[in-house]
Structure formats: C-alpha cells, structure tokens
C-alpha cells in the first residue's frame, strides 16, 4: 500500500498528465475540429470545444466520449479531495477566507444530499466527495450520470447553435494551418506567463501540492 505522501505524488503526477493532455487539445483545437472533433473532446472536453463539436459529430459518440473524458477528470478531483482535503482547506482558509466559507456551505449541502448533489454538480462536488471519503461504488455511478446529463444538455445547446457555429468551423477549415499555429503560440505564451507569475508568488504561501 502506498503511503499518503506517495499517493499525493501519484495524484499530482496524474493531474500534470491530464492537464498536459488538455493543453494539447486546446493548442491544436482548430486542426482537431476540422479533422477529428471526437479526438478534440477526448483530449479537452471543455464547454467551448463541446459546443463547437456538437453540430459535426454523432450524438451518441459525442456523449460517450465527452462523458468518459469528464468522468476521468472528476475521478482525479475525487482523489485530490481525498489526498489533500484537510490540508488543502487549511491552505484555502489562510489564503482565501471567503472561499473557505463557501466550501463549508457546499460541504454542508453535500453531507445532507450525498450522491444527488454529485449528480447535480459533478465537477464541484467531486473533490468534496473525496474529502468526505464517499465510497467509490457510490461516487462513480453518480458522477457518471451527472456528466451524461450535463454533456447531453451541452450537445443540445451546441446543436441548436450550429447555424451560427458552422460558418466559423468552415472558416477554421479554410485557415487551419494559420489558426492552429496561432493557438499553439497563445497556449505557450499563456503557460510561460502563468509560470512566471506563479514563481513570483511562490514565497507568499504554501500550496497544497507542496504539503
């Protein structure tokens, strides 16, 4: 059995990998939307990608791929909550007192509604479910159902907006090389700026991943 420190390192490594996969999807979004929208949502199932991909994909394939990708993210958040729960909340209370009170309020709701709240807001409740040690046999069906519902609604919205988004997708297809290069540059620049700012703030407080 891995120690708590080893489990935290595994969770951090998994988060880094999943974040990297998501960034690849964002960076190559124009090309992936043009040639393989399902691969895009498998890499990065964020709302804007889902809305853009919805009118050009099969609904059943869309819901299956997007739901699976988002469930993976929720499971990771569950283990983040399980591994860093109390220490993370302690750091949060020192750095962001108002956010700490918000988390307490959400946690109060979670303790009384359990799986139903996970179904309703799976992303928000996943780390709290982990922190509360909600059994995985309860968490996984609830979060899967919640994501299937959320993804299905998103597909409907994206399909409805297809009249407006399809001309944009056609334009992306005509300019796929230049728009993809632009996205790659923007993602790389953003990450460099973000890392620089994080470096400057490193001495201000201890981050949960450092505990």
pLDDT tens sequence across 10-21: 888 998 999 999
Calculate mean pLDDT across residues 110-135. 83
Residue 42's alpha-carbon distances to 49, 62, 199, in angstroms, are: 10, 9, 31
pLDDT of 58 > 80? The answer is yes
Calculate mean pLDDT across residues 40-67. 97
Residue 68: how many other CB atoms lie within 10 Å: 16
The whole model's pTM is what?
Answer: 0.83
- Rounded Cα–Cα distance for residues 30 and 179 (Å): 6
pLDDT of 147 > 60? The answer is yes
207 pLDDT band, cuts 50/70/90, is very low
128 pLDDT band, cuts 50/70/90, is confident
Phi, psi angles (nearest 5°) of residue 204? -75, -35
Residue 125: how many other CB atoms lie within 10 Å: 31
What residues does each domain of the chain span? 4-210
Residue 21: how many other CB atoms lie within 10 Å: 14
pLDDT tens sequence across 62-73: 999 999 999 999
pLDDT for residue 206? 40
Residue 139 three-state SS:
helix
pLDDT of 176 > 80? The answer is yes
202 pLDDT band, cuts 50/70/90, is low
Range from 82-96, 104-118, 189-203 carrying the lowest mean pLDDT: 82-96
33, 34, 39, 45 alpha-carbon torsion, rounded to 10°: 0
CB-based contacts of 109, cutoff 8 Å, min separation 6:
117
Better pLDDT: 75 or 109: 75
Q: What value does the mean pLDDT of the chain take?
A: 85
């Amino acid at each position: 059995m891995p120690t708590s420190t080893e489990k935290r390192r595994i969770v951090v490594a998994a988060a880094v990998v999943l974040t990297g996969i998501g960034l690849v999807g964002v960076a190559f979004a124009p090309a992936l939307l043009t040639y393989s929208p399902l691969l895009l949502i498998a890499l990065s199932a964020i709302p804007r990608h889902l809305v853009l991909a919805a009118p050009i994909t099969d609904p059943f394939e869309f819901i299956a791929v997007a739901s699976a990708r988002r469930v993976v993210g929720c499971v990771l958040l569950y283990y983040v909550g399980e591994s860093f729960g109390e220490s993370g909340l302690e750091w949060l209370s020192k750095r962001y007192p108002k956010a700490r009170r918000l988390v307490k309020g959400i946690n109060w709701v979670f303790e009384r509604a359990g799986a139903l709240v996970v179904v309703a807001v799976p992303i928000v409740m996943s780390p709290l479910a982990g922190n509360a040690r909600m059994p995985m046999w309860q968490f996984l069906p609830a979060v899967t159902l919640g994501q299937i519902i959320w993804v299905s609604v998103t597909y409907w919205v994206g399909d409805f907006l297809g009249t407006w988004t399809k001309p944009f997708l056609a334009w992306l297809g005509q300019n796929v090389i230049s728009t993809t290069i632009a996205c790659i540059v923007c993602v790389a620049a953003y990450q460099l700026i973000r890392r620089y700012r994080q470096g400057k703030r490193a001495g201000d407080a201890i981050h949960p991943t450092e505990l």
